[in-house]
Structure 1
Amino acid sequence: MSFSMTQAADGLKAGPFPPTAPSVLKVEPVSVVDFDAVSYEETEVTTITDETKTTKVAKVSEMHVADTEVVDITSSSDISVSPSDNSWTKPEVSVPAVVTNEVTPVKTSTGRYFTRFDSYVPTSPPPKLSTATTVTTVAESASTVVGSGTSVSTTTAAFQNLKLGVKKSFGGAGLKHGVVQSKKLIIGIDFGTTFTGIAYGLTSDPTNIKIVKKWPGIQGRNDIVKIPTTIQYGSVNDNNIKDVDFVWGYKIKDNAERVIRGFKLGLDPAKRGFWTKAVGISEDDDMMLFHEETTMVEMERLYRSTVQIVADYLGAVYKHAIAKIAKDEMTGVLELPRQFVITVPAIWSDQAKTATLNAARLAHADMKFVSPEDLVTEPEAAALYALQSFRNRGFKTGDTFVLCDAGGGTVDLISYKITSLYPRMQVKEVVSATGAAVGSMMINNGFERYLRQILGDDVLARMKDKGGVAFNAVMREFDQKIKPYFQSAEHWDDGGDEDDDAINNIINLGITIDDDPDHNITDNNLTITGDVLEEIFDPLVTATEKLVREQIDGVKQSNGRGPNYIFLVGGFGASPYLNRRLEEMVAGESIQVLRPEDAQAAVVKGAVLFKMPNTAQVIASILPTSLGVKASVLYDSLEHTSPSAILHAFTDANEGVTRIPKMTWFIMKGAELERDDRVRFPCYRDVPLDYYPENLRFTDELQESDEPLPPKFPWEGKGVKRKCVLTSDLNGIDPGQLVRRKDPNGCEYYSVHYELVVAIRSAILTFSVECQGRTFAIANVEF
């Protein structure tokens, strides 16, 4: 069979050079060395062989002590490695500033060895051992071992210099009684659709997480866990748009006009309409769409994007919070290194998560360097807090739980399995995150729809007159004094239990209207019955029950049995009605529904725990979609037999071989990836011998599919969509290492072989390119 069509060969090609046919990349876990007080960027495993045995040595390519850059390190520190006996008996290990008297090797279920070191500096380093092999790191500062009983030592000079470097890094207070001081201030920001909160803690006291509870606009209150995610801009100075004034949170007056609410959702336009689809209401009744329209009008008036509005709000909130932290905490707290953690909904796209990062970078100079590693999904953060809250409950290895984070805007869910309890609790995902925009804001919207139904549009318009003072007061009364206490229709109408606070089921409407006994309106007061509240709550609660049930079924399918627990957190998660409905749903299934005491603050406190040492950690995630690229592969007459395949086959102009476009999926939906594992996809492109810089700027389009079995070919593209476009710049590679080829006409060209590298973080995928042993950052990611 012959193919007359010929194509230029500068496109993306997958796999090895012909004639070897490419195969789908499989996930290969990378051996990792884990330090309690050391961060690393990448590890490389080297095999060292002597006359009697082979030892694996991990080379740390970039090292920081306590995440603080080490200075004044000599560039000639030799690190020698000596094979010892084959047992795990406390070998003498010395790594600069990270030396231990206790070495605990832990072999995980995947066969990885994690060697843990306490962060103590001995009074004097051990003598240098005889050199079997010298291992030099990129920073030429440290190395350690993976495997059986290998010991590492350093020269005295290098060790002393590193101690001086650490001391200088901490402003002269780095070493105290021989201990590395790695204290940092961790700040968690839970930027919510309806409310926002900030928590913080010091790494020296990882379980003592505090919340900023005093906010402007409310006098005499020190118990405000969260503030409204609202902003109001003043008049615009046409000569200086950037300096437009605004107020935020509780500073906004009840009768204020042009208040922007729900603007967080503008970061993920793809979710527009989730509110209506989730509970089956019309767009006319969807208050979120109304808020979006208000936001759009204001954005046009202010010449501001959603990212800029979010940045304005976050900047103001953070500026107040950091001043409050400085006032309440010890002297010098602001001199400590700071790390930020920002929460994002699990169901958001990577585009929306990236937009959140961009907003944070614009918000304040302190946050200009936040990165994907500083994002955590809301359910993961909540799970960390729940595990911390219930740590004395007697968890066992193998226990599973569903985390339901029911907030103001969204309900996010995820399921985990406890894989280890000691020395640090570790969990892994067993069901990937799901969710929908069915948060408690929709209950407020439901109440407003009820008011329109019984009062009519004219009366409701009167309530919204004069800045909406009457309407806002009614909504605030419902939100703060009715919604949080509703447990059931019977309980509500009976006035609650004896031990309950008195139920307030009467709201003054704030305007004069006729009595209406049919709708329980007397003397301008509205009495709200339990049946009405159930009608308002039920669409959201039913949608949440469905989401929880899907997670339970997923746990059963993955684990062979249902979960042990359901952890219910978030503002809506504190609802007694939702809690009771979930308990009734799982009655008889041996599943406990648990709510932490501070359920509303679970996400923001968990965000801080995410960066704390020795607290619970998530070690593996489930991929919700398949990821791959469209690349040309060698034509296989036995495999590519369909008419469509034959139609799309072409002759490569450079190689003179027949190729065919094919989807190459290098991460499959449902795959389990350990955190910081890197998935590599081998590719190559052809460039001329006299290439220009632009010839080494490659653009690769990453595709995703949520189908259980993604298609093999681009023309079968059902369920396939573009995830992002990655632009990489490989200028700087060594042309002497490039593969030199000839086309059928004898003309020479280069083949540039490289790997697309994907790594999974808590909340987002990160990308890089590796070529000739070097890592190249992605120049641009376009969603």
Structure 2
Amino acid sequence: MNTARDIRVVVSIDFGTTFSGFAYSNKINPEIITNDTIPFDRIGNLEYEVLAKPEQTGVFKTNTVLAYDDNLQLVAWGYPALAQEPPKKKRLQNKPRTKPVELFKLHLANVREDEKPQLPHGLDPRRAITDYLHEMNKLIVETLNSRWPGIRYPQQVRFVLSVPSEWHHDAKAIMRECMFNAGYLETRQSENLEFTTEPEAAAVYCMKSLTEHHLTVGASFMIVDCGGGTVDLTTRTLLPGMKLSEITERSGDLCGSSYVDREFLRFLGRKLGYAAMKKLKENHYGQMQYLVQQFCSRVKFAFNGNPNEYATKELDIERVCPALMDYVTGHAREQMEEAEWLIELDFLNVKEMFDPVVNKIIELITRQLASTERRCSAMFLVGGFSESLYLQSQIRRQFMNQVSIIAVPKHPIAAIERGALEYGLNMEIVQTRVLKFCYGVEVSAKWEKGDPPERRTPSGRIFKFHRLALRGVEVAVDQKFYYTAGPVVPNQTDMTFNIFITPDNNSKYCDEDGMKMLGKMKIDLPDPQRGKNRLVEFTLTFGTMEVKATAINKRTGQIYESSFILEF
């Protein structure tokens, strides 16, 4: 069995919606090393050229994208699987290519089914996640072996996986299963895997920036993690000894930089016809992504919202996306032929692509600031989208009178994996967290006048939700919440604790909307001759990323324990 003493190396993994990367460190010499050797080659032989290494995303990450052949055999991962530059040979220009698989992480998010990306027939999202993690795992093994030969992998490695704050425990359980299947863990329940939330990891990373801004113990600061798919927010307070306390519930939404790309494609749909864009997506997805990458590199990355510094840009459809020309019909085709297939992007066009996304982020920040009475001394913007000059300017314009320091720290793209690595090296750095759910157990109580008649059981009892830890409460690591129970009938020989979570602190019953079972624990009740005088103390202990349920038979001293992934 592995213990903390066996761990020699810590590896943090930022498995993002659109980009992924990892960092690593040796515990003896805990230097934070962000991997910058993402390979840009293929697994197999693909019949297309790929773009050069994308400078705007940095070398710390590659795209969270896969490419499969017709037999669902993986042929490429990362950036080579995404954007396909049209071949120079005309006979190949309009030939359908391998369709990349992307955004598959959204299948674990709490979003509508129509917002989840369609996967190729026969490809399960768990397999896609496992395939991607498997390819990254090969790179991690190669990297660690070159750094520290002799490391027993994975036995002596602690993995820290950052996840979105809004993920439920079942999504984290799926990620644990995928990590095991991808070769990171010896057993499914290995203690070598730790979870942290993405905003928490970002907060740990930004903590070191506080001294640069002359912020001291007691100062509260907000992290706005602007990624490709999601934006997550959290507010923390600096405690003595460089430790963190969470003071508000984490919040987030799907409004990352990829949603600006969506607005760009909608713009093209209005101009060229939605049917044409649909056929392009179905038959030439790689070319469509190449078109998006051209928009990003030539327009999106440089846009700062100043009309005096913006010059209208042109995209040559015939050069960057020739397959699209076959699908444009009618009046739209006549207009494009007259314009020689050049798409103009003026200032207002681009601003209208940004504004729906930026406004959503501003709304999230507004709500986060309003959720606490404590003054927010600083706001740190991290994640790839945080480098958008337009997003920065709009946030500063909106909040400069409420928050005196609004800054982008060094290496914002690598903030998650670097912060997660810091957490993995020193898991005591996080002292408190705010619960996003109310935790409790189902109890059998005596039915009383005023209780719903339809809920009365034949034995005159009623099942209710007994609250133990309330949503919105700031809890310390290893803080305990107690409940004492006894048998309902004298000859009872066992007892089951059904543990539930709900976003509503006022819930009364375990079948209400939003109520979800976290797990259950069954214990023995020996000596039925003692009747109801057999008490059991039930405890929920909130750890770093897990909640531990403990039941102690007060008479026999027998202890039952079970752990569940914590809903942060």
**TM-score range relative to shorter protein:** 0.7 to 0.9
Q: Which residue of 339, 349, 353 maps to 2:168?
A: 349
**Residues 271-670 of structure 1 correspond to what in structure 2 (within 5 A)?**
271-272=111-112, 288-289=115-116, 291=117, 294-295=118-119, 297-298=120-121, 301-302=122-123, 305-327=124-146, 329-332=147-150, 337-366=156-185, 368=187, 369-371=189-191, 374-420=194-240, 424-457=241-274, 459-460=276-277, 463=280, 467-468=284-285, 470-493=287-310, 495=311, 505-510=313-318, 511=322, 522-556=339-373, 559=374, 562-613=375-426, 617-634=429-446, 640-642=448-450, 644=451, 648=455, 659-670=461-472
Deviation of the 1:461 alpha carbon: 5.6
User: 2:295 and 2:462 mapped to 1: Cα distance?
Assistant: 62
* Shift in CA distance, 540/627, structure 1 to aligned 2, threshold 3 Å: same
1:396–1:418 contact (8 Å) kept in structure 2: yes
Q: What is the aligned partner in structure 2 of residue 249 from structure 1?
A: 78
* Shift in CA distance, 442/651, structure 1 to aligned 2, threshold 3 Å: same
* Shift in CA distance, 780/485, structure 1 to aligned 2, threshold 3 Å: closer
Number of aligned pairs? 531
User: 1:417 and 1:780 mapped to 2: Cα distance?
Assistant: 27
Q: What is the aligned partner in structure 2 of residue 778 from structure 1?
A: 562
Equivalent pairs: percent with the same residue? 21
Q: What is the aligned partner in structure 1 of residue 506 from structure 2?
A: 710
**Residue type of the partner of 1:432?**
E
TM-score by length of 2: 0.82
Structure with higher Rg: it is 1
* Shift in CA distance, 525/219, structure 1 to aligned 2, threshold 3 Å: closer
Q: What is the aligned partner in structure 1 of residue 107 from structure 2?
A: 266
1:492–1:529 contact (8 Å) kept in structure 2: no
Query: Counterpart of 1:710 in 2: which secondary structure?
Result: coil
Segment of structure 1 superposing worse, 217-226 or 570-579: 217-226
* Shift in CA distance, 766/378, structure 1 to aligned 2, threshold 3 Å: farther
2:396–2:406 contact (8 Å) kept in structure 1: yes
* Shift in CA distance, 63/408, structure 1 to aligned 2, threshold 3 Å: closer
User: 2:16 and 2:149 mapped to 1: Cα distance?
Assistant: 31
Deviation of the 1:520 alpha carbon: 12
Query: Counterpart of 1:341 in 2: which secondary structure?
Result: strand
User: 1:763 and 1:779 mapped to 2: Cα distance?
Assistant: 10
User: 1:462 and 1:739 mapped to 2: Cα distance?
Assistant: 71
1:492–1:530 contact (8 Å) kept in structure 2: no
Q: What is the aligned partner in structure 2 of residue 228 from structure 1?
A: 63
1:683 aligns with 2:485: yes
* Shift in CA distance, 307/365, structure 1 to aligned 2, threshold 3 Å: same
TM-score by length of 1: 0.61
1:192 aligns with 2:32: no
User: 2:490 and 2:255 mapped to 1: Cα distance?
Assistant: 55
- Residues 536-555 of structure 1, C-alpha deviations (whole Å, 9 max, x = no match): 11111111111101111112
Q: What is the aligned partner in structure 1 of residue 516 from structure 2?
A: 722
2:441–2:498 contact (8 Å) kept in structure 1: yes
User: 1:536 and 1:220 mapped to 2: Cα distance?
Assistant: 26
Q: Which residue of 9, 16, 35 maps to 1:211?
A: 35
* Shift in CA distance, 443/668, structure 1 to aligned 2, threshold 3 Å: same
User: 1:308 and 1:767 mapped to 2: Cα distance?
Assistant: 31
Query: Counterpart of 1:201 in 2: which secondary structure?
Result: strand
Deviation of the 1:245 alpha carbon: 4.1
User: 2:512 and 2:295 mapped to 1: Cα distance?
Assistant: 46
Query: Counterpart of 1:624 in 2: which secondary structure?
Result: coil
- Residues 508-553 of structure 1, C-alpha deviations (whole Å, 9 max, x = no match): 2133689999999943332312211111111111111111011111
1:402–1:415 contact (8 Å) kept in structure 2: yes
Deviation of the 1:710 alpha carbon: 0.6
Deviation of the 1:435 alpha carbon: 0.9
1:232–1:258 contact (8 Å) kept in structure 2: yes
- Residues 297-324 of structure 1, C-alpha deviations (whole Å, 9 max, x = no match): 43xx24xx32232112111111123213
Q: Show structure 1 runs of 5+ residues with no match.
A: 1-61, 70-182, 238-243, 274-282, 496-503, 653-657, 743-749
* Shift in CA distance, 521/484, structure 1 to aligned 2, threshold 3 Å: farther
- Residues 414-465 of structure 1, C-alpha deviations (whole Å, 9 max, x = no match): 1111122xxx211211111111111112111111111111111454367558
2:548–2:562 contact (8 Å) kept in structure 1: no
User: 1:770 and 1:434 mapped to 2: Cα distance?
Assistant: 36
User: 1:246 and 1:322 mapped to 2: Cα distance?
Assistant: 20
User: 1:357 and 1:623 mapped to 2: Cα distance?
Assistant: 22
Query: Counterpart of 2:300 in 1: which secondary structure?
Result: helix
Deviation of the 1:372 alpha carbon: 9.4
Deviation of the 1:333 alpha carbon: 5.0
Q: Show structure 2 runs of 5+ residues with no match.
A: 42-49, 85-95
Query: Counterpart of 1:555 in 2: which secondary structure?
Result: coil
